[in-house]
């Protein structure tokens, strides 16, 4: 199943390469800008902000969960389909790496980026909460952040899967968005309540479980299980397909 | 995938000690069309081996196969003591490759690309080392600091040759190393091949459609035509590779 050092080598090299890419900073800047808006609101009216703790989640986590999947899908497409189309995948595979190591190294980079995009502003927010109100929201904020990261990563995983499956670069994003759209439509149509729980978009606002008066641990566990299955399953299936392909 | 042990890989007893690369009755079909049929050849340690053939005869397929990018439909091959496919990372450490159309990241500079790909081999070359090899290829050092998207075809070719030297492997497999280069560039590449071979003991497998250029550096040549090896022998003084090639392709 490949050498972990090989996978780490790819992840480290990818992180270093990404620092030369303006898009790397673009996603982080957007999430920091969102955090900046929340800080500005808190600064202007600290009391009302504190009273409505839910504002934190709505101001920051909601747009992250809404727009984050686009970045996640983009990452998957760029890391597999675009590399294949540009021919850089072949150049990289000339190096002492197996396809398996290359794939999981790329996955490692995507997960790192998702974490960076969501957690750096959240850590800033948690610090603000600690300074201004002595803490209390930090744990909920970080828990909600973890759910958002998992939700974004499930779209990344779908993009990796479909980018591995289809040689065309638009295959990954179109099919990953298609799964999201299908899930959303089935959910909106109602009915079939027994399957709603398993739909990807049903867990869009799973971070809210951390902002109820009592944290909904059952809801958290369910979302973790469903989103974890989507993420792990799609990444693994993508790896199996990718490992058996050729670069002609 | 690469962790398989045992008889698949450690089959040195099958190999003559000085054979570094070998294809054994290799065939390759793509969408039902035979690209290679029963190809067998051996490249011995320290030699410069040439693979001559026209466009579309399967030279690049042989190169991609030996570099582990594709797998044969039939037969197998050896890299070092490893029986392939699959080409394990341990065998890949012995071999450096340059494809006919090696691609790089256009938004990175030449030196950043070299450093990136070398780091995948756990090798971190010094700038002076990169500049030294670049000068041997007549590659303007200032170009190393420009984005690859601004490179000409010849400059990209030189970069692709250059990147395969970090780290310097035991075997270099170069697909059409002088395509897109001017006569001075071709000469520099040929000088580099001979120098690396004589001074560092690097074994070469070079593919080219140009008999004249190949016979300047190669010690032994195989002629590939319609997916089959038609001729495979040492070059001796007075032997014209071009004439042999024409005789073969004009045979019906």
Residues 179-238 of B with CB under 8 A from A: none
Domain-embedded: residue B49: yes
Predicted local confidence at residue A49, as pLDDT: 61
B84 and B197 fall within a common domain: yes
B77 and B186 fall within a common domain: yes
Cβ distance of A94 and B97 shorter than 8 Å = yes
Domain boundary residue among B168, B185, B208? B168
Domain boundary residue among B120, B148, B168? B168
Predicted local confidence at residue A152, as pLDDT: 93
Between these two residues, B8 and A25, which has the higher pLDDT value? A25
Q: Is the dihedral of CA B167, B210, B40, B73 positive or negative?
A: positive
Q: What is the C-alpha separation between A33 and A51, in angstroms, rounded?
A: 23
Query: Does B167 sit behind a cis peptide bond, omega within 30 degrees of 0 on the bond before it?
Result: yes
The 3-state secondary structure of chain A reads CCCHHHHHHHHHHHHHHHCCCHHHHHHHHHHHHHHHHHHHHHHHCHHHHHHCCHHHHHHHHHHHHHHHHHHHHHHHHHHHHHHHHHCHHHHHHCCCCCHHHHHHHHHHHHHHHHHHHHHHHHHHHHHHHHHHHCCCCHHHHHHHHHHHHHHHHHHHHHHHHHHHHCCCCCHHHHHHHHHHHHHHHHHHHCCCHHHHCCCHHHHCCHHHHHHCCCCCHHHHHHHHHHHHHHHHHHHHHHHHHHHCCCCC
Write the CB contacts of A16 (distance below 8 Å, at least 6 apart in sequence). B116, B119
Write the CB contacts of B19 (distance below 8 Å, at least 6 apart in sequence). B42, B43, B44, B45, B78
B252 pLDDT band, cuts 50/70/90, is low
Predicted local confidence at residue B11, as pLDDT: 45
Write the CB contacts of B58 (distance below 8 Å, at least 6 apart in sequence). B28, B35, B36, B39, B224, B227
Between these two residues, A71 and B221, which has the higher pLDDT value? B221
B16 and B90 fall within a common domain: yes
Residues of B in contact with A88 (CB under 8 A): 103-105
Cβ of B1 under 8 Å from any chain A Cβ?
yes
Predicted local confidence at residue A160, as pLDDT: 93
Cβ of A91 under 8 Å from any chain B Cβ?
yes
- List the one residue out of B41, B89, B36 whose CA is nearest residue B67: B89
B83 and B116 fall within a common domain: no
Domain-embedded: residue B202: yes
B2 pLDDT band, cuts 50/70/90, is very low
- Chain B: closest CA distance from residue A63 (Å): 30
**pTM score of the predicted model:** 0.87
Domain-embedded: residue B86: yes
Quick: pLDDT tens for B223-245. Answer: 999 889 988 889 888 888 888 88
Quick: pLDDT tens for A237-246. Answer: 999 999 988 8
Predicted local confidence at residue B4, as pLDDT: 43
Predicted local confidence at residue A191, as pLDDT: 63
* Residue A3 pLDDT exceeds 80: no
B90 and B212 fall within a common domain: yes
The torsion region of residue B51 among left (phi > 0), alpha (psi -120 to 50) and beta comes to beta
Domain-embedded: residue B13: yes
Cβ of B133 under 8 Å from any chain A Cβ?
no
Which of A175-179, B39-43, B157-161 has the least mean pLDDT? A175-179
Mean predicted confidence (pLDDT) in B26-31? 90
* Residue B221 pLDDT exceeds 90: yes
B58 and B117 fall within a common domain: no
Q: What is the C-alpha separation between B215 and B230, in angstroms, rounded?
A: 17
Cβ distance of A100 and B2 shorter than 8 Å = yes
Predicted local confidence at residue B152, as pLDDT: 92
Cβ of A101 under 8 Å from any chain B Cβ?
yes
Each residue of B22-54: b (16+ CB within 10 Å) or e? bbbebbbeeeeebbbbebebbbbbebbbbbbbe
- List the one residue out of A120, B14, B210, B97 whose CA is nearest residue B221: B210
Cβ distance of B120 and A13 shorter than 8 Å = yes
Answer yes or no: are the C-beta atoms of B66 and B9 closer than 8 Å. no
Pairing of strands B220-225, B228-234: antiparallel
B77 and B145 fall within a common domain: no
Strand intervals (E) in B167-216:
171-175, 203-208
Mean predicted confidence (pLDDT) in B177-192? 92
B126 and B144 fall within a common domain: yes
- List the one residue out of A58, A50, A48 whose CA is nearest residue A207: A58
Domain boundary residue among B126, B152, B168? B168
Predicted local confidence at residue A129, as pLDDT: 73
Answer yes or no: are the C-beta atoms of A238 and A163 closer than 8 Å. yes
Residue range(s) defining the domain that contains residue B51: 6-94+169-250
How many domains in chain B? 2
Mean predicted confidence (pLDDT) in B166-191? 92
B84 and B205 fall within a common domain: yes
CATH number at residue B83: 3.40.50.300
B56 and B152 fall within a common domain: no
Q: What tokens does A212 get? A: 């109820």
Q: What is the C-alpha separation between B45 and A247, in angstroms, rounded?
A: 27
Mean predicted confidence (pLDDT) in A189-200? 77
Write the CB contacts of B31 (distance below 8 Å, at least 6 apart in sequence). none
Pairing of strands B48-52, B203-208: parallel
- Chain B: closest CA distance from residue A28 (Å): 19
ipTM above 0.95, yes or no: no
B128 and B230 fall within a common domain: no
B238 and B206 fall within a common domain: yes
* Residue A32 pLDDT exceeds 90: no
Q: What is the C-alpha separation between B225 and B214, in angstroms, rounded?
A: 16
Cβ of A17 under 8 Å from any chain B Cβ?
yes
- Which of A21, A97, A243 faces B89 most closely, judged by CB atoms? A97
Domain-embedded: residue B1: no
Look-up of token digits 């951390």: A210
Answer yes or no: are the C-beta atoms of B138 and B215 closer than 8 Å. no
């Amino acid at each position: 199943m490949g050498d972990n050092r090989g996978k780490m080598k790819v992840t480290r090299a990818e992180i270093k390469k990404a620092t030369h890419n303006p898009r790397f900073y673009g996603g982080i800047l957007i999430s920091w800008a969102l955090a900046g808006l929340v800080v500005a609101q808190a600064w202007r009216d600290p009391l009302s902000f504190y009273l409505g703790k839910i504002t934190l989640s709505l101001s920051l986590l909601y747009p992250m969960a809404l727009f984050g999947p686009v970045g996640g899908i983009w990452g998957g497409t760029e890391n597999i389909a675009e590399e294949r189309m540009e021919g850089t995948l072949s150049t990289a595979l000339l190096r002492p790496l197996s396809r398996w190591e290359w794939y999981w190294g790329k996955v490692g980079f995507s997960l790192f980026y998702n974490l960076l995009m969501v957690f750096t502003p959240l850590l800033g927010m948690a610090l603000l909460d600690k300074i201004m109100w002595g803490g209390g929201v930090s744990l909920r904020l970080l828990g909600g952040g973890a759910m958002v990261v998992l939700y974004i990563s499930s779209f990344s995983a779908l993009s990796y899967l479909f980018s591995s499956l289809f040689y065309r670069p638009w295959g990954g994003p179109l099919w990953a968005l298609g799964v999201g759209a299908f899930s959303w439509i089935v959910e909106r149509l109602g009915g079939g309540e027994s399957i709603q729980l398993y739909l990807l978009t049903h867990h869009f606002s799973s971070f809210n479980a951390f902002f109820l008066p009592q944290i909904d641990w059952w809801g958290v566990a369910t979302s973790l299980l469903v989103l974890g299955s989507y993420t792990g399953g799609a990444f693994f299936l993508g790896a199996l397909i990718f490992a058996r392909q050729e670069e002609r | 995938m690469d962790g398989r042990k045992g008889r698949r890989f450690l089959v040195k007893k099958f190999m003559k000690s000085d054979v570094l690369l070998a294809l054994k009755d290799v065939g390759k079909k793509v969408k039902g069309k035979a690209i290679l049929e029963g190809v067998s050849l051996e490249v011995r340690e320290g030699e410069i081996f040439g693979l001559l053939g026209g466009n579309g005869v399967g030279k690049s397929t042989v190169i991609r196969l030996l570099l582990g990018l594709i797998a044969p439909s039939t037969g197998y091959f050896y890299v070092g003591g490893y029986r392939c496919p699959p080409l394990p990372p341990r065998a890949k450490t012995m071999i450096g490759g340059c494809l006919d159309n090696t691609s790089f990241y256009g938004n990175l500079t030449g030196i950043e690309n070299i450093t990136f790909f070398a780091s995948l081999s756990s090798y971190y070359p010094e700038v002076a080392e990169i500049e030294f090899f670049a000068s041997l290829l007549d590659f303007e050092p200032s170009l190393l600091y420009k984005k690859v998207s601004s490179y000409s075809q010849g400059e990209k070719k030189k970069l692709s040759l250059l990147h395969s030297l970090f780290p310097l492997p035991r075997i270099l497999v170069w697909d059409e190393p002088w395509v897109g280069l001017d006569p001075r560039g071709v000469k520099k590449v040929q000088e580099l091949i001979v120098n690396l071979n004589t001074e560092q003991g690097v074994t070469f497998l070079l593919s080219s459609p140009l008999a004249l250029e190949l016979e300047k550096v190669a010690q032994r040549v195989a002629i590939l035509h319609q997916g089959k090896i038609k001729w495979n022998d040492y070059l001796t003084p007075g032997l014209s590779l071009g004439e042999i090639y024409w005789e073969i392709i004009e045979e019906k």
